[in-house]
Chain A
């Protein structure tokens, strides 16, 4: 039969697309730091999506993890606020600053997905922390917690800070 076994052009395209999709999904499922299929990139919305999924960490626990250096502290406030003063050793990921994307990209290259992260901003109703937490969860970071009203609580507790 003429043409038997011939793969039509359109089917070739579909085969390539499905093969790549399958390989991508399989490789992602197999890797230790797999990405969730749908990340949370809708930041800037209120209330932030996924806020309910992010656990809060009590101040005492945060202090304990600070002293044992078990967790990495992330400051979600603006770079200007961060420079004025921040929890000692905290990294700055300013969710609403213009260079956030570049900083996040660098962060995701340098910080392992297994690292325990404690995020803080300032004020009880501050939405920066939940926004940053949702984004990091969406990038595959497993252990993300929020220290509510973190900056104020930290100073009131007289814990170590650094900055200008």
Chain B
């Protein structure tokens, strides 16, 4: 293929250069600090309405028609706390990679649930940030949003360098 460059003259494929630049940004440990704050704030915000209205959240979970009935209440009781705890840990930087792993798994589960509901044509509100039924119905944009947060969460999991974090404060041999 002709990209308009000549490898023999030592030129670099512009597509590769661009990819290298993006990967450089993505793997940068300072990006982890930004992403930790972003993902942390997103999940703390997401947990608030669910913590206040667990029974409405239970119905929101039920509306996806995925979980067996006996697990719905347990999820409604504990999931918001898991989101809150992981969000706080990401921001203060304590066990950030473990928190990012848990949130990444959750985001994959959420993505699957959204995909299944949309595929089956179930017309429901997301229950992601609010349990109000006045919220708009789920659609593809919710899945894209989920993937963006997942990309940030995975960056933390793989490239976090403990910058600006509680982990820094602990003696090296305790890390």
B interface vs A, CB < 8 Å?
A: 51, 53-56, 58-60, 62-63, 69-70, 72-74, 76-82, 84-86, 89, 95, 97-99, 101-102, 124-125, 131-133, 173-175
Which listed residue (A9, A20, A106) contacts B133, Cβ 8 A?
A106
Give chain A interface residues in 9-37, CB to chain B under 8 Å: 9, 12-13, 15-17, 19-21, 23-25, 27-28, 31, 33, 35-37
Task: Tell me if A's interface is mostly helix, strand, loop or mixed.
Answer: helix
- CA A2 – CA B104 in complex, angstroms? 31
Measured between alpha carbons, how far is A41 from B70 in the docked complex, in Å? 7
Q: Which of B51, B63, B173 contacts A5 (CB 8 A)?
A: B173
Q: List 20 A-B contacts (CB under 8 A).
A: A5-B173, A7-B95, A13-B102, A15-B95, A20-B84, A20-B86, A23-B81, A27-B51, A35-B55, A35-B77, A38-B70, A39-B58, A39-B70, A40-B69, A42-B69, A101-B62, A101-B124, A109-B133, A113-B55, A140-B55
A102→B95 contact, CB < 8 A: no
- Chain B residue numbers with a CB within 8 Å of A20 are 78, 81-82, 84-86
Name the A residues within 8 Å of B124 (CB-CB). 101-102
The SS class assigned to the B binding surface is helix
In the complex, which of the residues A9, A16, A23, A101 contacts B63, with contact meaning CB atoms closer than 8 Å? A101
**What is the size, in residues, of chain A's interface with B at 8 Å between Cβ atoms?**
42
Which A positions have Cβ atoms within 8 angstroms of B? 2-7, 9, 12-13, 15-17, 19-21, 23-25, 27-28, 31, 33, 35-42, 101-106, 108-109, 113, 138-140
Quick check: A33 and B55 within 8 Å, CB to CB? Answer: yes
